[in-house]
């Protein structure tokens, strides 16, 4: 009877994992499509075969002259994105506050302004997740910087929750440090945006971190092993996909992948086919 019970439990677990594979939607960031903050990214992502597109909310051409508002927030440009999404019956899966690469959220008041602006704008675009990047000079390196960001997120988190969007933290720190930020922020509107390439390259056990964080602390994934095509580098993507499915995650994974051949549509389609092949496996 014990053996029979174990078999039933295993069968149920396998069924849940298979169901999770089917729930994973695959999108593409517009910057990897070389259509950064451009409405044409919508049609291109659909033509390649993706399920949706992730868009940058833009930045100014002059790093020393910040725009008055997030560029995609300009009515004409926002309407163009919405028109393309409706015309192609194709979702804008998530957004990225890319200007945080210039106005760092950890120490620049403008960073807070951009995050606040991104919340209603992302809602208007029909997306649910907002990527907040912390890289380069804007990377989180000290506990004081992490606490500063967490305290701001605690302040603005309720606004995100009320609007129905999630602020996703993409960075170079460990899963444990990210969890501490989430615990301090105390908001369901603040989660981890898990990038397997960034975390792997910073020496973290991505397969374990995904399982440790679990589906309740991850809002979305970036899949990449740049500058190589998926499956041709050091990251074990069958193991990554199994970890994502194993936690019961149902949402978006964006292929933030480079184009080693220089032919963006071709390489993106190759990477998409590779991931779809893994998802089709039992």
pLDDT digit string, tens, across residues 77-134 = 999 999 999 999 999 999 999 999 999 999 999 999 999 999 999 999 999 999 999 9
Looking up tokens 């890289």 gives 135
Distances 190 to 44, 154, 158, 176, 218 between C-alpha atoms, Å: 30, 8, 9, 15, 9
CA dihedral 135, 136, 140, 142 (to 10 degrees): 170
**Bridging pattern class, strands 25-29 and 252-255:** parallel
Least confident of 10-14, 25-29, 67-71, 219-223: 10-14
Distances 10 to 3, 19, 20, 192 between C-alpha atoms, Å: 11, 14, 15, 29
pLDDT score, position 61: 85
Q: Average model confidence (pLDDT) for the chain? A: 93
Residues in the chain: 282
Neighbours of 179 (CB within 10 A): 15
Taking every pair of Cα atoms in the chain, the longest distance, rounded to a whole number of angstroms, is 71
Neighbours of 62 (CB within 10 A): 8
| pTM (two decimals) | 0.93
Q: Is the model's pLDDT at 15 over the cut of 60?
A: no
pLDDT score, position 4: 52
pLDDT score, position 206: 98
């Amino acid at each position: 009877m014990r053996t029979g019970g174990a078999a039933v439990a295993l069968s149920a677990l396998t069924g849940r994992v298979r169901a999770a594979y089917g729930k994973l939607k695959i999108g593409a960031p517009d910057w990897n499509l070389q259509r950064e903050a451009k409405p044409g990214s919508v049609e291109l992502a659909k033509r390649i075969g993706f399920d949706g597109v992730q868009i940058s909310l833009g930045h100014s051409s002059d790093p020393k002259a910040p725009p008055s508002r997030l560029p995609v927030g300009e009515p004409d440009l926002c309407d163009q994105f919405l028109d393309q999404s409706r015309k192609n019956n194709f979702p804008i899966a998530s957004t990225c506050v890319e200007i945080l690469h210039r106005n760092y959220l950890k120490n620049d008041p403008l960073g807070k302004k951009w995050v606040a602006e991104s919340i209603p704008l992302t809602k208007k675009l029909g997306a649910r997740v907002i990527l907040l990047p912390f890289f380069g000079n804007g990377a989180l390196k000290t506990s004081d910087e992490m606490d500063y960001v967490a305290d701001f997120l605690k302040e603005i988190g309720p606004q995100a929750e009320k609007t129905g969007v999630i602020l996703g933290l993409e960075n170079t720190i460990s899963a444990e440090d990210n969890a501490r930020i989430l615990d301090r922020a105390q908001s369901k509107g603040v989660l981890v945006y898990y990038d397997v390439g960034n975390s792997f390259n910073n020496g973290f056990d991505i397969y374990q971190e995904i399982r440790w964080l679990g589906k309740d602390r991850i809002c979305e994934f970036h899949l990449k092993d740049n500058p190589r095509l998926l499956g041709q580098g050091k990251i074990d993507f069958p193991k990554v996909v199994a970890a994502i499915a194993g936690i019961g995650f149902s949402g978006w994974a964006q292929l933030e992948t480079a184009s080693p051949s220089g032919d963006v549509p071709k390489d993106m389609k190759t990477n998409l086919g590779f991931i779809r092949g893994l998802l089709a496996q039992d």
